[in-house]
Amino acid sequence: MSFEMMWVEKYRPKLLSEIINHDSIKSRISGFIKDRSLPHLLLSGPPGTGKTTMVFALAHELYGEDGLRGNLLELNASDARGIDTIRNDVKEFARTVPFNDAPFKIICLDEADNLTSDAQHALRRTMEKYVNTSRFVLICNYPSKIIEPIQSRCAVFRFTPLKSKDVIKCIDYISNEEGLTVNEDGKQTLITASGGDLRKLINILQATSVINNDITPEIIRQTVGVIAPEVVGNMMFQALSGKFLEARNTLHELLIIEGISGIEIVSIIHRQISKLDLTEKQKISLAQMIAEVDFRLSEGASSEIQIAALLAKIQSL
């Protein structure tokens, strides 16, 4: 399977009608396009949920193919996050007249939550000054990192993770286009491995297709290095049953032989809490233990030592 074109770009929707889910947002954006009027926008939500795609679809329908290049400026604020970028690149683009009789230009700042405080304050003034020629679309994962004066100037749209049924539609469509076969277990494994991030899911699907066109859970796990939740669940059951050494051996195999990260194992343990035969009080204690281990791992502690200690604590519940 050729990687000359990334599937994420190949299957990126160009029109609002092609975007799955987010029906209420699409209807409001369609209204803006129909009226050829647009407020400043703030699009927030988890990665891979369609925020940037929504902006490109909006610009494509508003300007057409010919006017897209001259009327849309996209900057990744994580790369260009300082005040000079706002004063120079953004300001110069915002002050010029739109092309092809477009009502305004669109300036899209992706990952805007990475902008420095000074840059955000400079942006606030630019948004006010050039409102006759330009509209700003800010995309972020954490809207709390955007200063309040900017939030108050924008219409806020919050994107939620895609529903499983919508993700399955995407898997089926790409599978049909690329001649792949994905069984039901494989689809569920893809959904779990991507964590609601459609971009990540498509990349996993493309990488997996290189190994075999018949995609199974085993091939997916082999490609992306994820483990079945049942394996971690069995490790926790061993610890709860007083078989600490067996649980530690399972942990060692996951970390050293399988090469699974400690953070990934802790994340799966956290998701397994509700399935354990424990009292409510014990589950609360376990959640607190997991939070402590997760923090220590993020600070650079040894995965094997910290998770082994967690298994020891689980045995004492």
Interacting residues of 221 by C-beta distance below 8 A, sequence separation 6+: 189, 193, 227, 228
C-alpha count within 13 angstroms, C-beta hemisphere, residue 43: 27
Mean model confidence pLDDT for the chain: 88
Question: Around Cβ 185, how many Cβ atoms within 10 Å?
Answer: 12
The stretch 27-37 carries a mean pLDDT of: 91
- pTM (2 decimals)? 0.77
What fold, for 229-315?
Zinc Finger, Delta Prime; domain 3 (1.20.272)
The stretch 3-8 carries a mean pLDDT of: 68
Summarize pLDDT for 157-177 with one digit per residue, the tens: 999 888 888 899 999 999 999
CATH match for 164-224 among 1.10.600.10, 1.10.8.60, 1.10.8.50, 2.20.25.10: 1.10.8.60
Dihedral sign, CA of 104, 110, 113, 116?
negative
Question: Is 280's pLDDT higher than 70?
Answer: yes
Radius of gyration of the chain (CA): 24
Interacting residues of 197 by C-beta distance below 8 A, sequence separation 6+: 46, 47, 48, 49, 161
The stretch 213-217 carries a mean pLDDT of: 90
Choose from 84-88, 100-104, 195-199 the range with maximum mean pLDDT. 100-104
Indicate the SS3 state at residue 291.
helix
The stretch 181-200 carries a mean pLDDT of: 88
Quick check: do 164-224 and 229-315 share a fold?
A: no
Q: Which CATH class is domain 22-158?
A: alpha beta
DSSP 187: H
Any idea where the domains of the chain sit in the sequence? 22-158, 164-224, 229-315
Indicate the SS3 state at residue 154.
strand
Question: Is 84's pLDDT higher than 60?
Answer: yes
Question: Is 298's pLDDT higher than 60?
Answer: yes
Of the pLDDT bands very low, low, confident and very high (cuts 50, 70, 90), residue 82 is low
Q: What is the pLDDT of residue 1?
A: 43
Q: What is the pLDDT of residue 43?
A: 95
Q: What is the pLDDT of residue 18?
A: 84
Of the pLDDT bands very low, low, confident and very high (cuts 50, 70, 90), residue 22 is confident
In this structure, are residues 123 and 150 in contact, taking their beta carbons and an 8 Å threshold? yes
Of the pLDDT bands very low, low, confident and very high (cuts 50, 70, 90), residue 2 is very low
Of the pLDDT bands very low, low, confident and very high (cuts 50, 70, 90), residue 39 is very high
